[in-house]
């Protein structure tokens, strides 16, 4: 090559970002911040004498998250391979720190306080499992049917993180970690019969856990019949159902919901979708769910058109993680599933979760830049 470029490796020019995926993400984040404000101002005024307290913080995290997303979208995703194991080690270390000196709330110890900011390592752990398993499954591509490559290493790495989150009494994170780990192994090509064996074992362990830990079994009782103890165990879900039912077809109107006035606990967090249903009604809630469905569909489209196996697994894993969290949150607030404390992506209050989710969307966008075809 001329002009001093001899011996220099020229990187192929990357394509453009996937515009539908980017726009859907930005729309959901914008709606999420707006609805979180409507759901939170009564609680914020009570707790901090400042109705904008939660909104200002969430808006700051949303803006910072968009910057993280755009930076991640231009970072070559294949370079993340080398960070998968160091990130896993760091995440395990943070989970241990949580157990040692973490902040507790409602009987669970899940957060690390760094000045005015709290970090929830379990949110980082979810992405860590996706990244690490995508790297391993792409490297062991021809060996995933062998237990020493496609089973035991995955179970050991997943088991350690899952046990640490379980020790925090963070059942929802443990469930999500196990589910996303199983999905990544399945997509990677592991034997189907392994899922049957360990699925049965997981059911036995889950039943044993629920019997041993009272707070979890109380949630099962409340799920089966929330009206039996409306003033205590079934209170939250009953108030959530009141909010959903009172919204009707078109809702009471933005900002006019009633359950957020300290009737519904966690109205700005895990149960923000109940306030959405109350204020925007069935039509508004359905449109938001449609946006999530379109985003998830587009994420899988990007995964199917990725240039390599690692990119495909990474995009599919992140998209599946998003889908699991949306499904579980909607299931919980509607009492279709027992209460597990799973937040709604982009809508629930929480800085660590929002930053991680937008960073993950940025990685999917990075994969999209190398797709065979960026067109619809």
Model confidence pLDDT, tens digit, residues 315-365: 999 999 999 999 999 999 999 988 877 899 999 998 889 999 999 999 999
239 with 290, same domain? Answer: yes
For residue 15, being part of any structural domain is answered with no
Is 350:120 a contact under the CB 8 Å cutoff? yes
113 with 43, same domain? Answer: no
106 with 178, same domain? Answer: yes
Q: Give me the pLDDT at residue 104, please.
A: 66
**Of 192, 212, 232, which one is at a domain's C-terminal end?**
212
Which residues face 112 on adjacent strands?
A: 119
65 versus 226: the higher-pLDDT residue is: 65
The total of structural domains in the chain comes to 2
pLDDT band (50, 70, 90) for residue 214:
low
Least confident of 44-48, 118-122, 132-136, 341-345: 118-122
Model confidence pLDDT, tens digit, residues 164-210: 998 887 888 888 999 999 999 999 999 998 888 888 887 787 777 66
Least confident of 153-157, 172-176, 180-184, 270-274: 172-176
pLDDT band (50, 70, 90) for residue 220:
confident
183 with 261, same domain? Answer: no
Exposed e or buried b per residue across 3-27, where buried means at least 16 C-beta atoms within 10 angstroms of its C-beta: eeeeeeeeeeeeeebbebbbebbbe
Residue count (the chain):
376
**Of 212, 247, 274, which one is at a domain's C-terminal end?**
212
Residue 4 pLDDT > 50: no
236 with 321, same domain? Answer: yes
For residue 173, being part of any structural domain is answered with yes
For residue 343, being part of any structural domain is answered with yes
Q: Containing domain of residue 324, as a range?
A: 29-74+214-370
d(CA 136, CA 130): 10
For residue 6, being part of any structural domain is answered with no
The DSSP secondary structure of 90-128, one letter per residue, reads HHHHHHHHHHHH-EEETTEEEEEEETTEEE-HHHHHHHH
For residue 5, being part of any structural domain is answered with no
204 with 156, same domain? Answer: yes
230 with 271, same domain? Answer: yes
**Of 212, 247, 271, which one is at a domain's C-terminal end?**
212
For residue 218, being part of any structural domain is answered with yes
The stretch 79-91 carries a mean pLDDT of 95
226 with 351, same domain? Answer: yes
Q: Give me the pLDDT at residue 373, please.
A: 54
For residue 13, being part of any structural domain is answered with no
311 with 283, same domain? Answer: yes
DSSP-based three-state secondary structure for 248: coil
Residue 8 pLDDT > 80: no
d(CA 286, CA 248): 12
- Of all residues in the chain, the percent with pLDDT exceeding 70 is 90
260 with 169, same domain? Answer: no
Q: Within 10 Å of residue 94's Cβ, how many Cβ atoms?
A: 18
pLDDT band (50, 70, 90) for residue 116:
low
Model confidence pLDDT, tens digit, residues 252-265: 999 999 999 999 99
Model confidence pLDDT, tens digit, residues 288-322: 999 999 999 999 999 999 999 999 999 999 999 99
129 with 205, same domain? Answer: yes
Q: Give me the pLDDT at residue 222, please.
A: 78
State the angle between helix axes of 121-139 and 309-333 in degrees (0 to 180), rounded to the nearest 10. 140
84 with 206, same domain? Answer: yes
For residue 11, being part of any structural domain is answered with no
Is 317:133 a contact under the CB 8 Å cutoff? yes
């Amino acid at each position: 090559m001329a002009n001093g470029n001899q011996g220099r490796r020229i990187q192929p020019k990357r394509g453009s970002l996937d515009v539908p995926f980017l726009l859907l993400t930005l729309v959901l984040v914008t709606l999420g911040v707006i609805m979180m404000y409507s759901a939170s101002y009564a609680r914020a005024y009570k707790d901090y004498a400042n109705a904008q307290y939660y909104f200002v913080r969430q808006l700051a995290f949303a803006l910072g998250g968009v910057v993280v997303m755009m930076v991640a979208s231009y970072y070559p995703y294949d370079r993340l391979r080398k960070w998968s194991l160091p990130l896993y080690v760091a995440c395990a270390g943070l989970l241990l720190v949580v157990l040692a000196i973490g902040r507790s709330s409602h009987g669970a110890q899940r957060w690390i306080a760094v000045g005015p900011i709290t970090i929830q390592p379990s949110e980082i752990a979810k992405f860590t499992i996706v990244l690490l398993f995508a790297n391993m499954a792409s490297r062991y591509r021809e060996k995933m049917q062998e237990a020493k490559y496609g089973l035991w290493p995955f179970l050991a790495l997943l088991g350690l993180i899952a046990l640490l989150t379980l020790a925090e009494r963070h059942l929802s994170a443990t469930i999500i970690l196990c589910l996303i780990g199983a999905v990544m192994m399945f997509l990677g090509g592991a034997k189907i019969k392994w899922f049957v064996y360990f699925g049965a074992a997981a059911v036995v362990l889950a039943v044993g856990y629920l019997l041993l830990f009272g707070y979890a079994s109380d949630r099962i009782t409340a799920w089966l019949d929330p009206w039996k103890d409306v003033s205590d165990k079934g209170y939250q879900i009953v108030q959530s159902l009141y909010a959903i039912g009172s919204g009707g077809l078109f809702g009471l109107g933005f900002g006019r919901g009633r359950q957020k006035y300290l009737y519904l606990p966690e109205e700005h967090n895990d149960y923000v979708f109940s306030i959405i249903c109350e204020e925007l009604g069935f039509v508004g809630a359905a449109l938001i769910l449609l946006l999530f469905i379109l985003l998830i569909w587009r994420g899988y489209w990007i995964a199917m058109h990725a240039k390599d196996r690692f990119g495909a697994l990474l995009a599919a894993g992140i998209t599946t993680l998003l889908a699991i969290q949306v499904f579980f949150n909607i299931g919980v607030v509607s009492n279709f599933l027992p209460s597990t404390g799973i937040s709604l992506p982009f809508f629930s209050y929480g800085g660590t979760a929002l930053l991680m989710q937008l960073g993950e969307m940025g990685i999917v966008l990075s994969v999209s830049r190398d797709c065979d075809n960026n067109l619809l």
